[in-house]
Amino acid sequence: MSRPQQITVLGATGSIGLSTLDVIARHPDRYQVYALSGFTRLRELLALCVRHTPQFAVVPEASAARGLQDDLRAAGLSTRVLVGEEGLCQVASDPEVDAVMAAIVGAAGLRPTLAAVETGKKILLANKEALVMSGALFMQAVRKSGSVLLPIDSEHNAIFQCMPQDFARGLGAVGVRRILLTASGGPFRQTPMAELAHVTPDQACAHPNWSMGRKISVDSASMMNKGLELIEACWLFDAKPSQVEGVIHPQSVIHSLVDYIDGSVLAQLGNPDMRTPIANALAWPERIDSGVPPLDLFAIARLDFQAPDEERFPCLRLARQAAEAGNSAPAMLNAANEVAVAAFLDGRVRYPQIASIIEEVLNLEPVVAVDDLEAVFTADAKARELAGQWLSRHGR
């Protein structure tokens, strides 16, 4: 048997990171953890290092690194601690590494994920914001390095599984008419509109079907998550925004569908547990046990579908507009959303103001071409600045 694949998990202490480590631990003969990164929960990172004995751990700054290095030594481990974005890029691109789970949340994941792409790693992409911000450059880098890009987002993993067999060999989405992107509709699908101004961060994070980090939970409540996923789908599957249709499906059992020109519609179903797409991507094109129990269709009994409502979910409209405008618009949308969601989680703005902030930022700043990474980060910084100005005027 060949040596186990060496895996770097960026964002190991998060929801996706932990699910990834759960799947990896079920298959010690196939996978070995090469590096783990954490940003805040560093006690948990220490425990993960003890459990998975990586070669490297990465933390945000030097004093945290010293503390973790001492604790690791005291625990008898030879794990070396690296610091900051440079450390993340190093463990993402190290020649020893076979695959990188990109599970840092937000724009902070872009540079390390690109470092993995540029060195031809197998990329397990959870960090959708990276692709939204820099889609054209990201996909260009994938083609140039020959990196294998496997989607972790449950919808995109479902679409990937329903694509023609030759799709993964670069032969395109032959015969595909539409992509149907399912969405649960989140916790506020039926909340009276007048009550939305009073919902709390904890209510927004109480997703009916999925357990996730707080930022993506708020994105799911506002359906910005679906908007980001629309942009993500266009890049991953070479589709136009008009070919991607959102479908509200409250049970979260069908994870998305592909509609072919002959009238066939292929869907992927499963329990809402991210270990399924993670196991699918880790082992692709093979299949491995993920620990997810079998789907019980009799217990589910029915599957419902509804058209999304852009009045209830203005973030969907804003994301579709940004998808159509392309260039710097998706990076601006993403950055304004990151600032607005953080402000909502901190109690500085009300839930409906998330969309107001993003809309104002997009209206204030013209769309420009983004030909390199610097231009992407310039658009990102401009949007953060404008969103910050909105907060100083209207925020609590």
- What is the nearest approach in angstroms of ligand NAD to the Cβ of residue 127? 4
Select the residue whose beta carbon is closest to Mg ion and give its number. 153
Q: Which does 17 bind (CB under 5 to 8 A by kind): Mg ion, ligand NAD, none?
A: ligand NAD
Q: How many CB atoms lie within 10 A of CB 373?
A: 16
- What is the nearest approach in angstroms of Mg ion to the Cβ of residue 335? 20
Give CA angle at 350 (344, 356), nearest 5°. Answer: 95
Select the residue whose beta carbon is closest to ligand NAD and give its number. 14
- Measured CA to CA in angstroms, residue 243 lies from 4, 235, 248 at distances of 40, 12, 16
Confirm or reject binding of residue 54 to ligand NAD (CB under 6 A). Answer: no
- What is the nearest approach in angstroms of ligand NAD to the Cβ of residue 38? 5
Strands (E), the chain: 5-10, 31-37, 56-59, 80-83, 99-102, 122-125, 148-151, 176-183, 244-248, 254-260, 265-269
Chosen residue from 35, 68, 104, 383 binding ligand NAD by CB under 6 A: 104
- What is the nearest approach in angstroms of ligand NAD to the Cβ of residue 228? 7
Total chain residues near Mg ion (CB under 5 A)? 3
Question: Which of 45, 360 has the CB closer to ligand NAD?
Answer: 45
Confirm or reject binding of residue 127 to ligand NAD (CB under 6 A). Answer: yes
Q: Which does 104 bind (CB under 5 to 8 A by kind): ligand NAD, Mg ion, none?
A: ligand NAD
Tell me the C-alpha distance between 128 and 240, whole Å: 17
Tell me the C-alpha distance between 81 and 61, whole Å: 10
Between residue 144 and residue 163, which ones bind Mg ion under the rule CB under 5 A?
153-155
- What is the nearest approach in angstroms of ligand NAD to the Cβ of residue 312? 21
Chosen residue from 6, 8, 15, 276 binding ligand NAD by CB under 6 A: 15
Classify residue 348 as exposed, middle or buried by CB count within 10 Å of its CB (0-12, 13-18, 19+). Answer: middle
Instruction: Point out which span in 104-112, 251-259, 262-270, 304-312 binds ligand NAD (CB under 6 A).
Output: 104-112
Q: Which residues of 86-123 are buried (b: 16+ CB within 10 A; e: fewer)?
A: ebbbbbbbbeebebbbbbbbbbbbbbbbbbbbbbebbb
Tell me the C-alpha distance between 350 and 101, whole Å: 33
Instruction: Point out which span in 140-148, 193-201, 206-214, 232-240 binds ligand NAD (CB under 6 A).
Output: 206-214
Tell me the C-alpha distance between 378 and 62, whole Å: 27
Binding-site ranges for Mg ion (CB under 5 A): 153-155
Footprint of ligand NAD (CB under 6 A): 11-17, 38-40, 103-105, 108, 126-129, 153, 210, 212-213, 215-216, 274
